[in-house]
């Protein structure tokens, strides 16, 4: 866990292996929940922002870089998106982007830390937006690993893992047993999606996540984009399927509708981002 410095300098930084990324601003809330240190800040550049255990999670002015890229490659590509599961995602941004898809009938969200939801609703209302009032949203404050373990076979069209770094409460969201359960609860033609860390700042972790997902699913590929506030700014999400790389083929009509309100995501962007794999990662994955 990174320390949150006393705010005498006006800078709130995340520290990672000899690098720091800071936003100028002030701390609004800094409290310990049952699971983690939760910090909310008011920044000059990106509006209000959230840190968990001293690591940047999201900010009002930058959250679309992350949420659009986690959600739409899966939701614009799967044949059926009737039932969707989000593990984590307590700030509400992933649920908001999901619920822009009218075809979703029910969205289960399973967040371990109710305090993150409570504080996000209060301080970051634009992240969840209308999602919190959407009757299709079913919020459960409990452990996502048990939820997945206890879900029936083939019960979701889409499973999205929106957890923090593989340490603290999110650690169990990156191992083989968990991925196997995610595969088991996925319906035929379904898509699994997870954030998969930075190929630069968390190189080994990233490679390990992609390789493990490939062992469990028959098709899996990382997609590369940007989250400027995360270590190195260079981020990845990994998508997986049982029966073909459906995540690479967004459905035209759905994509056209969804991209109207997107800042980053488009069919073109998605196509490029799956190909823009740095050579050092491609070599590692082919070993």
Nearer CB in complex with a copy of itself: 200/208: 200
Residues 217-246 that bind a copy of itself (CB under 8 A): 224-226, 228, 232-234
Active-site hit among 162, 165, 181, 221: 162
Which x/- pattern over 22-41 shows residues binding a copy of itself (rule: CB under 8 A)? xxxx----------------
162 near a copy of itself, judged by CB under 8 A = no
Residues 241-270 that bind a copy of itself (CB under 8 A): 259, 262-266, 268-269
279 burial (CB, 10 Å; 0-12 / 13-18 / 19+) is exposed
Which x/- pattern over 175-214 shows residues binding a copy of itself (rule: CB under 8 A)? -------------------------xx-------------
Residue 171's φ and ψ, nearest 5 degrees, are: -55, -45
4 near a copy of itself, judged by CB under 8 A = no
Size of the site for a copy of itself (CB under 8 A): 42
Our answer to whether residue 162 is catalytic in this structure is: yes
6-42 burial code (b ≥16 CB/10 A, e <16): eeeeeebbbebeeeebbbebeeeeeeebebbbbbbbb
Q: Rounded distance, CA 278 to CA 193, Å?
A: 20
For 204: left if phi > 0, alpha if psi spans -120 to 50, otherwise beta; the answer is alpha
200 burial (CB, 10 Å; 0-12 / 13-18 / 19+) is middle
Q: Which residues are catalytic?
A: 162
Q: Which residues of this chain interact with a copy of itself, rule CB under 8 A?
A: 11, 13, 17-25, 43-45, 200-201, 224-226, 228, 232-234, 259, 262-266, 268-269, 271-280, 282
């Amino acid at each position: 866990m990174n320390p949150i410095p006393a705010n005498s300098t006006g800078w709130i930084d995340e520290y990672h292996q000899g690098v720091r990324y800071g936003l100028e601003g002030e701390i609004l809330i800094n409290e310990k929940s049952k699971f983690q240190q939760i910090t909310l800040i008011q920044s000059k550049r990106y509006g209000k922002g959230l840190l968990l255990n001293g690591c940047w999670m999201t900010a009002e002015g930058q959250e679309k870089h992350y949420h659009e890229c986690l959600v739409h490659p899966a939701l614009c590509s799967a044949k059926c998106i009737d039932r969707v599961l989000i593990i984590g995602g307590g700030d509400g941004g992933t649920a908001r982007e999901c619920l822009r898809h009218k075809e979703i009938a029910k969205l289960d969200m399973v967040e371990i830390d109710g305090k993150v939801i409570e504080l996000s609703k209060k301080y970051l209302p634009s992240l969840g937006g209308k999602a919190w009032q959407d009757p299709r949203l079913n919020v459960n404050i409990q452990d996502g690993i048990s939820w997945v373990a206890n879900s029936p076979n083939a019960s979701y069209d889409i499973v999205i893992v929106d957890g923090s770094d593989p340490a603290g409460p999110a650690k169990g969201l990156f191992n083989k047993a968990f991925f196997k359960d995610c595969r088991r609860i996925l319906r035929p033609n379904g898509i699994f999606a997870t954030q998969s860390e930075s190929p630069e700042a968390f190189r080994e972790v990233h490679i390990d996540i992609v390789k493990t997902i490939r062992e469990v699913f028959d098709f899996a590929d990382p997609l590369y984009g940007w989250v400027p506030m995360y270590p190195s700014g260079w981020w990845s999400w990994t998508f997986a399927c049982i029966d073909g790389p459906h995540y690479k083929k967004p459905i035209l009509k759905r994509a056209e509708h969804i991209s109207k309100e997107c800042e980053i995501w488009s069919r073109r962007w998605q196509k490029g981002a799956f190909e823009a794999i740095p050579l050092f990662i491609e070599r590692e994955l082919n070993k």
